Amino acid sequence: MIVVMEPRAAEQRINQVVERLKSLGFEVHLSRGVEKTIIGAVGERRAEAAQAIEAMPGVEKVVPILHQFKLAGLQFKPERSVINVSGIEFGGEKVVCIAGPCAVESREQLIAVAEAAKQAGADMLRGGAFKPRTSPYSFHGLEEEGLKLLAEAREVTGLPFVTEVVNPRDIELVASYADMLQIGARNMQNFTLLREVGASGKPVILKRGLSATIEEWLNAAEYIISAGNWNVILCERGIRTFETFTRNTLDVSAIPAVKSLSHLPIIADPSHATGKSKLVPAVALAAVAAGADGLLIEVHPCPSEALSDGPQSLTPAEFKSLMTELRPIAAAVGRLL
């Protein structure tokens, strides 16, 4: 349930409600707005508990939470979350652009992409050091060596970077290098990994699973938040449908749908959604027009030689052109790029 305190309720009143909720066995989370404080109480819903809390001084009302995703929902936090990642804000006025190769292959490849992305206007760098692949015989990444190269690229360009973590035992290592972690589509419901990433406190991009509903996706975010990490950014990367022309089907409607249900920022990944570089620009434009808070785009200096996802990667020149196309679309919906 949600306990809505009266406008400008005294801190003493708030603390009394918090202590009472804890004594009743609830896990308590505070959300402080400009005028009101909202207290989220997670636990067994008991009518007598709600009645007791509502009678306390300073309480305006008690509202039951109808969705399973309690902390990720707008009922708990009506104001949109703005998440700061090394100075880059997700969920604010600016559409954040993250660009880079699917996999870190070499120093030359990564530095070339990072410098080109920076010049074109990208805000962050992406690159996979640990790569979960469909085939056990595919390239699975350079692991810690890849993390070191990403850190060097950050040093050279000033771009913070995000990289995927696929195993709970690697979280501490990856977090020691990266500015932000990524949970891939295949791991969206790896609940052990979600809890451990939550405990790390590191900002995280949570990709939508291949066949996940929006509610399942938000429940996955709930695992991270309930473990103590509120810095969650959702990523729509396409879902599996009957269509075979594209790699996946980007659910553009998920962007406004999520915003009607959750306070968390949401970005889009047109590269994985389409699987074809020639389709990436149009889908990126559509995502921004639909209200996406950012884009995750794969860029490679020579896509035909890429060890992973070459067909969906833009060249640096194509990425630069896309950034030019995106600016008027962002402006048309009241955003900056």
For residue 129, what is the domain's CATH number?
3.20.20.70
Element (H, E) at 164: strand 161-164
Question: Do both 194 and 116 map to the same domain?
Answer: yes
**241-259 mean pLDDT:** 97
Question: Do both 231 and 141 map to the same domain?
Answer: yes
The residue out of 33, 63, 93 marking a domain boundary is 63
Residue 71 located in a structural domain: no
- Count of structural domains, the chain: 2
Q: Tell me phi and psi for residue 54, to 5 degrees.
A: -65, -25
Residue 73 located in a structural domain: no
Question: Do both 107 and 40 map to the same domain?
Answer: no
Alpha-helical segments (H) within 5-84: 11-23, 47-54
Lowest model confidence (mean pLDDT) among 30-34, 35-39, 199-203, 276-280: 30-34
Residue 58 located in a structural domain: yes
pLDDT the model gives residue 133: 64
Question: Do both 285 and 146 map to the same domain?
Answer: yes
* The residue type at 327: R
Percent of the chain residues topping a pLDDT of 90: 80
Residue 298 located in a structural domain: yes
Question: Do both 42 and 93 map to the same domain?
Answer: no
Question: Do both 141 and 21 map to the same domain?
Answer: no
pTM above 0.75, yes or no: yes
Task: Indicate the pLDDT class of residue 305, thresholds 50, 70 and 90.
Answer: very high
Question: Do both 27 and 121 map to the same domain?
Answer: no
Chain mean pLDDT for the chain: 94
Is the model's pLDDT at 47 over the cut of 70? Answer: no
Residue 167 located in a structural domain: yes
Query: By the 8 A CB rule, do 236 and 208 touch?
Result: yes
Is the model's pLDDT at 44 over the cut of 90? Answer: no
**83-95 mean pLDDT:** 98
What's the gap between Cα 206 and its chain centre? 5
The residue out of 11, 28, 63 marking a domain boundary is 63
> Using alpha carbons only, what angle is made at residue 188 by residues 296 and 207, rounded to the nearest 5 degrees?
15
Q: Give the contacts of 328 (CB within 8 A, at least 6 positions apart).
A: none
Alpha-helical segments (H) within 55-190: 107-120, 144-157, 171-177
Q: Is the dihedral of CA 239, 256, 131, 282 positive or negative?
A: positive
CATH number of domain containing 25? 3.30.70.1140
Question: Do both 206 and 91 map to the same domain?
Answer: yes
Residue 76 located in a structural domain: no
The residue out of 15, 32, 63 marking a domain boundary is 63
Question: Do both 110 and 197 map to the same domain?
Answer: yes
**13-41 mean pLDDT:** 88
Instruction: Give residue 6's domain range.
Output: 2-63
**118-128 mean pLDDT:** 97
Residue 326 located in a structural domain: yes
Question: Do both 135 and 210 map to the same domain?
Answer: yes
Question: Do both 106 and 12 map to the same domain?
Answer: no
C-alpha span between 184 and 59 (Å, rounded): 41
* CB half-sphere exposure, 283, CA atoms < 13 A: 29
Question: Do both 114 and 234 map to the same domain?
Answer: yes
Residue 224 located in a structural domain: yes
